[in-house]
């Protein structure tokens, strides 16, 4: 068995006297694609922050890519992790050209400064932009793109550095139906490629789970209500327990729909 990319053991986070994460145990292997699902305030973003080495647990042990958080230098771990989130997007200058937004990821900075880019990096950035259907936008300024295009640029930027794990915080939030479906198709294609890194995606909606995702972690009140292969764990019963109201789940062709029962 290959080594885990993420290994959480009894991870808890306490902030201002509130227990935000409660004894979370979670293991992610390189070929797995996880969805983290749960209601507002469940602790999903906090869990992702730890997975991104952006926050340390109050107690418990988080091991990222074989490095124990708190014992290893986060500056060694962070470049190996790709993170796309709206918080990250806010740090991208609105007047930055899309090609540079992606290119700067190779140098772990936001905003072009004095770096001299190698042809090999420029070629890779163009390839990644094409992969995320962004070739037509490479000379556009980031701030002029639609929400859907900006989300794809964020992901392309995270993929550019060739991460060993790709973390996506609500990539489909605020997208219209067409943009959402376009993004889910791209994410599904990426997830199905065996060469892609491990993936973890936070979402509020089962409708936003791309086809090809393999596992789900359900979180409520900071605690895991269920975790494991999607086929076993994503059930009406587990969603009912997680969201605290009767929910009926239906699935078709690898996609899911949920509504109050
Ligand atoms: N510094 C803090 N002090 C106290 N409470 C905090 C702090 N940071 C976060 N919280 C609380 O922790 C809980 C979990 O937050 P988190 O953002 O991880 O949840 P989430 O599942 O991502 O929520 P959402 O779906 O609404 O984005 C929330 O109730 C939040 O108010």
Contact 179 CB / ligand 1 (< 6 Å): no
pLDDT band with cut points at 50, 70 and 90 for residue 89? confident
Mean pLDDT of 62-75: 91
For residue 59, list its beta bridge partners.
Answer: 12
Is 134 strand, coil or helix? Answer: coil
Asked if the model's pLDDT at residue 59 lies above 90, the reply is yes
pLDDT, position 110: 58
For ligand 1, atom 17, the nearest C-alpha belongs to: 45
Instruction: State pTM to two decimals.
Output: 0.93
Between the CA of 169 and the centroid of ligand 1 the distance, in Å, is: 14
pLDDT digits (tens, 9 = 90+) for 4-35: 999 999 999 999 999 999 999 999 999 999 99
Cα of first residue to Cα of last residue in the chain, in angstroms, is 40
Give the Cα separation of 258 and 136 in Å (integer): 36
What are the DSSP calls for 6-46, one per residue? EEEEEEEEEETTEEEEEEEEEEE-TT-EEEEE--TTSSHHH
Contact 40 CB / ligand 1 (< 6 Å): yes
Contact 218 CB / ligand 1 (< 6 Å): no
Contact 235 CB / ligand 1 (< 6 Å): no
pLDDT, position 133: 94
Mean pLDDT of 171-196: 93
Ligand 1, residues 37, 38, 41, 243: which to mutate, most atoms within 8 A of Cβ?
41
pLDDT band with cut points at 50, 70 and 90 for residue 76? confident
Between the CA of 195 and the centroid of ligand 1 the distance, in Å, is: 33
pLDDT, position 249: 97
Smallest CA-to-CA distance from 132 within 88, 208, 188, 81 is with: 188
Between 147 and 155, residue with greater pLDDT: 155
């Amino acid at each position: 068995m290959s080594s885990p990319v993420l290994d959480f053991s009894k991870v808890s986070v306490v902030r201002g006297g509130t227990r935000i994460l409660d004894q979370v145990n979670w293991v992610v292997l390189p070929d797995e694609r996880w969805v983290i699902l749960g209601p507002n305030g469940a602790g999903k973003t906090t869990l992702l922050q730890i997975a991104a080495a952006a926050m340390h647990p109050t107690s418990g042990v988080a091991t990222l890519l074989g490095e124990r958080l708190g014992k290893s230098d986060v500056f060694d771990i962070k470049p190996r992790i790709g993170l796309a989130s709206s918080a990250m997007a806010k740090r991208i200058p609105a007047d930055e050209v899309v090609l540079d937004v992606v290119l700067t990821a190779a140098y772990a900075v936001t905003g072009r400064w004095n770096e001299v880019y190698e042809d090999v990096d420029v070629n890779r950035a163009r390839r990644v932009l094409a992969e995320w259907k962004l070739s037509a936008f490479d000379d556009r300024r980031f701030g002029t793109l639609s929400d859907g295009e900006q989300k794809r640029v964020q992901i392309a930027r995270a993929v550019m550095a060739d991460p060993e794990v790709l973390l996506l915080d609500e990539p489909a939030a605020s997208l219209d139906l067409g943009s959402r479906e376009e993004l889910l198709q791209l994410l599904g294609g990426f997830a199905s490629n065996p060469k892609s890194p491990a993936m973890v995606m936070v979402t509020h909606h089962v409708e936003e789970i791309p086809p090809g995702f393999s596992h789900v972690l359900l979180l409520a009140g900071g605690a895991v209500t269920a975790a494991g292969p999607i086929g076993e764990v994503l059930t009406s019963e587990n969603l009912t327990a997680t969201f605290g109201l009767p929910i009926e789940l239906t699935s078709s062709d690898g996609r899911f729909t949920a509504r109050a029962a």
